A = this chain, B = another copy of it.
Amino acid sequence: MRLSASDINDLEKRYRAALINSLSGFKPANLIGTANAQGQTNLAVISSVVHLGSNPPLFGMVQRPPVVPRHTYENILETGVYTVNHIHETIHEQAHQTSARFARDESEFDATGLTPSFVDGFAAPFVAESKIRFGMRLVRDVAIEENGTRFLIGKVEWIDIAEELLAEDGYLNIEKAGSLAITGLDGYHRSEMIGRLPYAKKDQPLQRLEDPMKGFK
């Protein structure tokens, strides 16, 4: 079936949100950890972290329009830092529950039972239960004028990972960590690896890598 721009425009609001949120494919399931200047912690599910570059190590993420209080966004502006923490199957219900409407003085850590931990000198808490977490410093807050969202560009300040997840070529086996993917607004999925494919070369057949932990030479 084909929908035109006007068909899409005419869709009921929540139906359209579900459809458009599903369109781009699987999304990374992460928790963003922040604190305000007074140390009040906050935790929020986000599915929009996107790789911008490896040297320097940069990621972007989308924040919804700050027309109502947005604790994560406000905290990042206050302290300049945030953490990204993978959501695994073992914690995904607690992670999802952070999206309920908590007050400014309630911590989603307390409300969901997830455990805040800190890296010395870094104001934002990370999630102790997550096996892959990293600290980010805000580099630039880009206004997306088209709809009022913000695109936050951040630089990786530290990485904290379980060593057994790391392949010999730097590839991180996030499937082994039990990390999840999100579809639409509310679908959670585990993964099953098909394989790693080598750097593609013209006129050369692909050779699949059977053991993802080995890495390509």
Contact = CB atoms under 8 A, between A and B. Distances in A.
Interface of A: 1-5, 8, 11-30, 47-60, 62, 84, 86, 89, 92-93, 96-102, 111, 119, 132, 134, 139-140, 142, 144, 146-147, 149, 151, 153, 155-163, 166-167, 169-175, 179-181, 183-202, 204, 206, 209, 212, 215-216
B151 A151 contact: yes
Contacts of A5: 156-158
The 6 closest A-B pairs by CB, nearest first: A25-B28, A18-B170, A22-B172, A15-B170, A26-B181, A20-B54
A167 B17 CA distance: 13
Contacts of A111: 202
Given A5-B157, A186-B196, A186-B198, A215 B27 contact: no
Given A24-B50, A134-B23, A149-B53, A192 B190 contact: yes
A161 B15 CA distance: 15
A70 to B, nearest CB: 15
A135 B207 CA distance: 32
19 contacts: A3-B160, A4-B158, A18-B167, A18-B169, A19-B171, A24-B49, A26-B28, A26-B191, A53-B147, A60-B144, A100-B202, A171-B185, A171-B187, A173-B183, A175-B187, A187-B195, A188-B194, A189-B191, A189-B194
Could you say how many copies of this chain the assembly holds?
Answer: 2
B53 A170 contact: no
Given A23-B132, A23-B172, A25-B179, A16 B57 contact: yes
Contacts of A169: 14-15, 18
Given A156-B23, A186-B198, A1 B180 contact: no
A169 to B, nearest CB: 5
A101 B100 CA distance: 47
Contacts of A55: 13, 16-17, 147
A24 B171 CA distance: 12
A172 B17 CA distance: 11
Contact of A170 (B14, B54, B189): B14
